[in-house]
Amino acid sequence: MALSDQELKEIAYLARISVKEESLPSLKKELEDILGLFKELDEANTSGVDAMSHPLDLSQPTRKDEVTEEDLRDELLKNAPSVKSGLFLVPKVIDGEN
């Protein structure tokens, strides 16, 4: 299964993993080899078969609408690379999803 450079760059962007230009060819080959496995599924006859997304045939449990978590901010923020005034600091956000 062939992967174009453009496709690979788009996939890398979607996954937010930068790929160095020099690594592109070898990465492409590795991925193409793995993708080669995929076509083995083409011949499988799956008409009338439901997709399995859980090995369990059960129903989702629920929990009561109660506040059970207390303020553990200090502990939870201990691992943060950059914090100020209780906020996680990141390079400036412009527009975006929300």
Partner 1 sequence: MKNYSEDWEAVIGLEIHVQLSTKSKLFSGASTDFGALPNTQACNIDLAMPGVLPVLNEEVLRMAVKLGKALNAEINSPTSFARKNYFYPDSPKGYQISQMDKPIVENGYLDIETENGGKRIGVTRAHLEEDAGKSLHDDFEGQSGIDLNRAGTPLLEIVSEPEINTPEEAVAYLKSIHSIIRYLEISDGNMAEGSMRCDANVSVRKIGEEELGTRTETKNVNSFRFVEKAIQYEIERQIHELKSGNKITQETRLYDSQANTTRPMRSKEFANDYRYFPEPDLLPVNLEKEFIEEVLATMPEMPNEKRERFVSEFSLSQYDADLLAADKDVADFFEEVTKVSNSPKLSANWIMGELSAELNNENLGIKESKVSSNKLGQLISRIEDGTISGKIAKDIFEKIWTTGKEVDDIIKEEGLEQVTDDKEIELMIDEVIENNPQQLEQYRSGKDRLFGFFVGQVMKASQGKANPKQVNDILKSKLEK
Partner 2 sequence: MDLHKLSLTKQLEGLKKGDFTSTELTSHYLNRISELDGQLNSFITVTEDQALSQAKAADDRYKKNNNFSLDGLPIAHKDIFCTKGVLTTCGSKMLSNFEAPYSSTVYDKLDKKGMVMLGKTNMDEFAMGSSNETSYFGPVKNPWNIEYVPGGSSGGSASCVSAELAPIATATDTGGSIRQPASLCGLTGIKPTYGRVSRYGMIAFASSLDQGGVIAKSAEDAALILEAMSGHDPKDSTSLKLDQPDLTKNLNNPVKGMKIGLPKEFFEKEMAPYVLKSIEEAIEVYKSLGAEIVEISLGNINLSLPIYYIIAPAECSANLSRYDGVRYGYRCEDPKDIEDLFMRTREEGFGAEVKRRILIGTYALSAGYYDAFYLKAQKCRQLVANDFSEAFKSVDVILSPTTPGTSFKSGEKTNDPVEMYLQDIFTIPANLAGLPGLSIPCGEHNGLPLGMQLVGNSLEEGKLLQFAHSFQSNTDWHMKMPNI
CA distances from 90 to 47, 75, 82, 87 (A): 48, 20, 8, 9
User: Is 96 among the residues that bind partner 1 (CB under 8 A)?
Assistant: yes
User: Is 4 among the residues that bind partner 1 (CB under 8 A)?
Assistant: no
Binding positions for partner 2, 17-76, rule CB under 8 A: 17-19, 27, 30-31, 33-41, 44, 46, 49-56, 58, 60-61, 63, 72, 75-76
Residues 54 and 60: their CA atoms lie apart, in Å, by: 11
- Mapped onto helix, strand or coil, the DSSP state of residue 83 is strand
For partner 1, the binding residue among 18, 49, 66, 81 (CB under 8 A) is 66
